[in-house]
Amino acid sequence: MKSMYRPKGVRSAPKPCGSLGGFTFVELLVVLAIIAILASLLSAALNQTKAKAHQITCLNNLRQLQLGWYVYLVDSSDQLPLNKSADSPNEQLFGRRNALGSWVVGNPKEDITTRNIVKGTLYPYTRVVSTYRCPEDRSTVVGRPFPRTRSYSMSFYMNGDAAGVEPRVKTIYSAIENPSPDKVFVFIEEHENSVWAGSFSVAPPEKGALGTPIWVSTPADRHKRGCNLSFADGHVEYWKWFSSKSLLPVSRPSADRHEIRDLRRLQDGVPKP
């Protein structure tokens, strides 16, 4: 029987290199690759969660604006908030401004402060300026590094410029009958490349050929190719578009049936004569 006693100063035989406890270079690369994959998956999940949260916040913003709109007309004996535009010295670059006395003033393509929001007739009913801007809206003032102060516009047919001339334009709430208030949109997210003409204008179906979609104002598509809208009865909805809205709003013939469907859907949301 061999003795287990090892004389002092005598070392044991070294272990083979393959039995060491550390990672080999290949194993380390595999671990790093796995970590990178997990990080990318986590990042994608967090981005989706953030985008969803922004969409919900945007919906809530429109809900608050619509509530303020409704309380305003109750206080004003059924009269809708004014939605007029005014001339702008740089209209070709910025578009028209919302006139004094309207629900909001100015133009978000050029406003670098929220003063024009505060001047609006709806501000006493929605006194948080962040309510006027979607958190997913990354657009900036034209030619300047300031974030835009507003992402939403009001329908041209809600006491807009052609009131008293165009029978589709309503000035009192009780006149919204066809279609019913739950089908008529009031506020909508407007695309950053839209004309921003003071109100959101939708060409009625009788304007232009049946197969020719004509965008006067362009809706946003920042929420997974969709946008949020509010309706005259107070509810809000998310609409996913069939076609991207990244192009500038110009009158353009198109054989794209998806674009036509998007326009027709929005046309159904304006009052009839």
Return the closest-CA partner of residue 157 out of 149, 165, 145, 147: 165
Average pLDDT over residues 21-41: 75
Supply the DSSP string of 82-128, one letter for each residue. P--EE--TTHHHH-PEEPTTSSS-B-TTT--SSHHHHTSTTGGGS--
Q: What is the pLDDT of residues 171-213, one digit of tens each?
A: 999 999 999 999 999 999 999 999 999 999 998 876 654 456 6
Measured distance CA(245)–CA(222) in Å, rounded: 9
Instruction: Report which residue type is found at 270.
Output: V
Q: What is the pLDDT of residues 78-103, one digit of tens each?
A: 999 999 999 888 888 889 999 999 99
The backbone torsions φ and ψ at residue 42, rounded to the nearest 5 degrees and listed phi first, read -65, -40
Quick one: tokens of 234? 């107070």
Tokens 């009788």 -> residue:
206
Enumerate the domain spans of the chain. 36-267
State residue 251's pLDDT score.
Answer: 46
Measured distance CA(62)–CA(200) in Å, rounded: 15
Asked whether the bond before 179 is cis by omega within 30 degrees of 0, the reply is yes
State residue 259's pLDDT score.
Answer: 86
Confidence bin at 16 (pLDDT 50/70/90): low
Q: HSE-up of 165 (CA within 13 Å, CB side)?
A: 4
Q: What is the pLDDT of residues 236-269, one digit of tens each?
A: 999 999 988 876 544 454 557 888 889 999 999 9
- Provide the greatest CA pair distance for the chain: 116
Instruction: Please state which of the ranges 17-26, 68-77, 137-146, 232-241 shows the lowest mean pLDDT.
Output: 17-26
Number of Cβ atoms within 10 Å of the Cβ of 154: 28
State residue 50's pLDDT score.
Answer: 80
**Predicted confidence (pLDDT) at residue 26 exceeds the cutoff of 50:** yes
Query: 0.85 cut: is pTM over it?
Result: no
Confidence bin at 21 (pLDDT 50/70/90): low
Return the closest-CA partner of residue 161 out of 227, 108, 82, 231: 82
Return the closest-CA partner of residue 80 out of 169, 190, 177, 183: 169
Q: What is the pLDDT of residues 101-154, one digit of tens each?
A: 999 999 999 999 999 999 999 999 999 999 999 999 999 999 999 999 999 999
Return the closest-CA partner of residue 119 out of 100, 133, 132: 100
Query: If 0-12 CB within 10 Å is exposed, 13-18 middle and 19+ buried, where does residue 75 land?
Result: exposed
Measured distance CA(98)–CA(156) in Å, rounded: 12
